[in-house]
């Protein structure tokens, strides 16, 4: 048996970069419909290399085989605000990181969603760890904070993203509910909208894990 765990933040008007308005009403026009205005990196989302690389690949060019498959859950808790996650933080918790591995970094930071700390005090991937992930040929890294790097430090933000993008590491940010996962390896799915020339896209991310009978 399996169970599905939703790893996606709710999309509503309280989310930064989102505006949802009614454009048709059932009582008046005969059906309900809404107009969605979405910042491309709002909520749970996927970055495309074009986000930081002028000639980088766009979201509609993303290899979907990377977006679907087994992922290793790395429990980094407890995690401190503004913590720079180092290589040893991963290696002491995971010893089987192979080329093509997908990683989900659990920090429980989704619990800070709705606070100033969620954006301004996020734990993030260090420059050294970013290089290491590329050296290990990791295929994907998913994180709970809204970014893999400090959004208030443009130099760091740019450097970490560029390292990962140039190393062909897919970035997924704004994940939630990794604390609900019971298995160290899960099936992971996160698919972006097919936005031509897009630099990123909100995704619906889920994990599927085996349930002992």
Answer yes or no: 41 catalytic. Answer: no
Neighbour tally for 88: CB within 10 Å: 11
CA distance 8 to 144: 10
Query: What's the helix, strand, coil split of the chain in %, to 5?
Result: 25, 30, 45
* Residue linked to tokens 């992971």: 188
DSSP H or E stretch at residue 74: strand 68-75
Torsion of CA 134, 138, 144, 146, to 10 degrees: 40
Check 41, 45, 51, 110 and give the catalytic one.
51
CA distance 40 to 193: 10
- SS3 category, 172: strand
- SS3 category, 164: helix
193 token code pair: 């909208």
What positions carry a catalytic annotation? 51
């Amino acid at each position: 048996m399996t169970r599905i765990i939703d790893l996606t933040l709710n999309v509503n008007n309280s989310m930064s970069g989102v505006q949802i308005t009614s454009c048709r009403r059932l009582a008046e026009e005969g059906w309900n419909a809404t107009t969605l205005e979405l910042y491309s990196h709002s909520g749970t989302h996927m970055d495309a290399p074009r986000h930081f690389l002028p000639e980088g690949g766009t979201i509609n060019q993303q290899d979907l085989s990377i977006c679907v498959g087994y992922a290793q859950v790395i429990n980094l808790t407890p995690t401190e605000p503004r913590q720079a996650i180092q290589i040893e933080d991963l290696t002491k918790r995971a010893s089987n990181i192979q080329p093509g591995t997908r990683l989900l970094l659990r920090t429980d930071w989704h619990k800070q969603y709705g606070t100033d700390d969620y954006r301004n005090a996020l734990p993030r991937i260090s420059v050294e760890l970013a290089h290491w992930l590329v050296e290990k040929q990791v295929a994907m890294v998913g994180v709970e904070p809204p970014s893999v790097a400090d959004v208030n430090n443009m130099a760091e933000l740019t450097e970490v993203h560029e390292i990962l993008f140039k190393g062909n590491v897919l970035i997924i940010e704004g994940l939630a509910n990794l604390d609900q996962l019971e298995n160290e390896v899960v099936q992971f799915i996160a698919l972006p909208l097919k936005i031509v020339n897009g630099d990123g896209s909100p995704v619906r991310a889920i994990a599927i894990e085996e349930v002992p009978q």
